[in-house]
Amino acid sequence: MAEFENNMDFTGKSKSTTIASSFFNRSITIHSSKSSPKEFVQSPSRFFNSFEPMKGKVQRLSNIFESSKSHKSILHGSQSQSLTLASKLKPVKSMGPEYNRYTFGFANSRIRLPGTSDRIVVYFTSLRGIRRTFEDCYAVRMIFRGFRMWIDERDISMDSAYKNELESVLGEGNVSLPQVFIRGKHVGGAEVIKQMYETGELADVLDGFPRRQPGFVCEACGDMRFVPCGNCSGSRKIFDEEEDVLKRCFICNENGLIRCPDCCS
């Protein structure tokens, strides 16, 4: 009996050993059926080697982009040079044909203001409705006053007749301000006068005009160039005793003002 149990114990052990060995052998067989460890170690090299054509493509693409960037930089450089040249020429071009007409043939200007061959006439506005226009008008007036010139200043905001006069002379409506006439000839606007002042050309043109005393201010109008009408006292109406009715004053403008007789005569 004991021998049988020993045999049974031995047999069981042998069976379990056989099962375990077969199981491990099976696992080894499964691994061996796929690939060898050597091949598994070598597979990363093949994996990275598969990217070699892609590297070439990336290099070619990078070369293309670099060439395009260099081409763009060249174009950008040429454009910047053209823009630089354009910016240098912009002040002259922005002045339009008036500056060219003055520089190359001011004496042959066809736009004339009758009755002003002995003076400087500046059409401007004293209203601050449009800031840029007011600043241009103020700058031009200060330039001429810096030369102490006697100027015939015609403020269209104080008298609408000057606006109609300027439009009829220039032959167009909605004229930009200021506009300058020297010796009856049209010179141009603010940009032209500023350019002539900076280059010194304006001083040569103004040579020969009478000059005011330093610090001179008209006592009658305070350099406003207008005073209230003495006929209607600025009311724009007068009483007609013969007809016993009020009539419109025929001397003053729409604001009841007349030109200063002291500084604008």
Q: Give which of 22, 257, 29, 237 is closest to 162, Cα–Cα.
A: 257
> Residue 16: is its pLDDT beyond 50?
no
**225: number of Cβ within 10 Å:** 21
Could you please state the CATH topology (level 3) that the domain comprising 103-216 is classified under. Glutaredoxin (3.40.30)
Alpha helix (H) ranges present in the chain?
Answer: 2-34, 37-49, 52-94, 97-105, 131-146, 160-170, 190-199, 201-205
DSSP 261: T
pLDDT given for residue 194 in this prediction: 95
Q: CB-based burial of residue 85 (10 Å sphere; 0-12 exposed, 13-18 middle, 19+ buried)?
A: exposed
Spatial separation of the C-alpha atoms in residues 220 and 257, rounded to whole Å: 13
pLDDT given for residue 127 in this prediction: 92
Mean pLDDT of 94-102: 42
* Confidence band of 66 (pLDDT split at 50, 70, 90): low
Mean pLDDT of 153-177: 92
pLDDT given for residue 146 in this prediction: 92
Query: Picking from 51-60, 70-79, 145-154, which range would have the lowest pLDDT averaged per residue?
Result: 70-79
Domain positions in the chain: 103-216, 217-264
Q: Which residues contact 137 (CB under 8 A, 6 or more apart)?
A: 124, 125, 126, 177, 178, 190
